[in-house]
Amino acid sequence: MNKINTCLKWIFTVFNVFFAIVGGVIFGFGLLSQFVTSVNGNEIEGRTTGLIVLYIVGAVTMVIAIVGAYGAHKESRGALIVFLVCMVIGSMAMLRVGVPTAFVRPRLQGELENRFRQLVPLDTASIDVKNIADGLQTQLQCCGLFDYQDWEGNFPVSCLCDQQEEQPGTCQSGDTKYKYIELLQKSTSVWAKPCLPFIMPYLLLIADVMIAVFFTLAALALLGLGLSSLMIHQLRYGAKPVFVSVPAIYTGSPPKYQELINPPPY
């Protein structure tokens, strides 16, 4: 049975260990994102899909790394071929998603703002949107997405400032409009800052991390593709032995020239 070069086997094993660590980091980032983006048990729109993608990518990355390490350790050509196919598919998929996402990134903030504007006015939005906004306002001490007027005067309790802890610049006066007494309007104190400036940096950070993950996995997949191809080639044709040439110090062959000496005459 053909053997793989020992140095190449160690390089490939270290690569797969690092590959598995990257998969674990992606999986852990999914858990962290689930914890950070959870708002009083409610789910932000698109949150579930993003978390599922992170979990799947992280788990699949770790499984592929285990298959590659097993193929190198056991010198299994089948496992290495499976690893090679996964690297080809993975690199194409990561580049397919990462390149368009990188081009969209400069316009992402404007796109997100347009999507959030479709949710206002908040007082007529769906129950899920109201619950999410109410949770954000409670945790971040803000009111509305773009302005307190997003509620059109029908402020929830989470928008109201605590008069005892009110500080300059923290609260502002807002006109409260009661649904059942339309003629009665009352000025109340609401949080001065909107919620969108608080959550936008986190959304952009998640997008940057996702782009970095896509291109990192694409680069690792291309590297793994090259290493696995070389190992499969060695399993098929054999690793070339390394010869070290040592200069000859002594040879037993006679010298090319000999001095002929005529014997003296008798």
pLDDT bracket for residue 251 (50, 70, 90): low
Q: Three-state DSSP class for 113?
A: helix
Q: In this structure, is residue 25 part of a structural domain?
A: yes
Where b means 16+ CB within 10 Å and e means fewer, 105-135 reads eeeeeeebeeebeebbebeebeeebbbbbbb
Q: Helices 196-237 and 6-37, interaxial angle, to 10°? A: 160
Of 83-87, 130-134, 160-164, 213-217, which range is least confident? 160-164
Split at pLDDT 50, 70, 90, the class of 184 is very low
Does 167 reside within a domain?
Answer: yes
- Answer for the pair 102, 211: CB distance below 8 angstroms, yes or no: yes
Q: What is the predicted pLDDT for the residue at 259?
A: 52
pTM over 0.75: no
- Sequence-separated (6 or more) residues with CB below 8 Å from residue 221: 87, 88, 90, 91, 94
Residue 247 lies in a domain: no
What is the per-residue pLDDT for 244?
42
Q: Is the same domain home to 81 and 124? A: no
pLDDT at 195 > cutoff 70: yes
Measured distance CA(214)–CA(207) in Å, rounded = 11
Based on the fold, state whether residues 157 and 32 are members of the same structural domain: no
- What is the total count of domains within the chain? 2
Residue 250 lies in a domain: no
Looking at residues 117-131, what average pLDDT do you find?
85
Residue 230 sits in the same domain as residue 186: no
Q: Is residue 36 part of a domain?
A: yes
Q: Which domain holds residue 44?
A: 6-107+200-237
Mean predicted lDDT score pLDDT of the chain: 77
* Residues 6 or more apart whose Cβ sits within 8 Å of residue 206: 33, 50
Angle value at C-alpha 103, between 101 and 105, nearest 5 degrees: 65
**What does the pLDDT average to over 101-109?**
88
Other CB atoms within 10 A of residue 24 CB: 15
Kindly tell me if the per-residue pLDDT of 40 is higher than 50.
no
Answer yes or no: is pLDDT of 182 > 50: no
Q: How far apart are CA 261 and CA 75, in angstroms?
A: 67
**pLDDT attached to residue 19:** 86
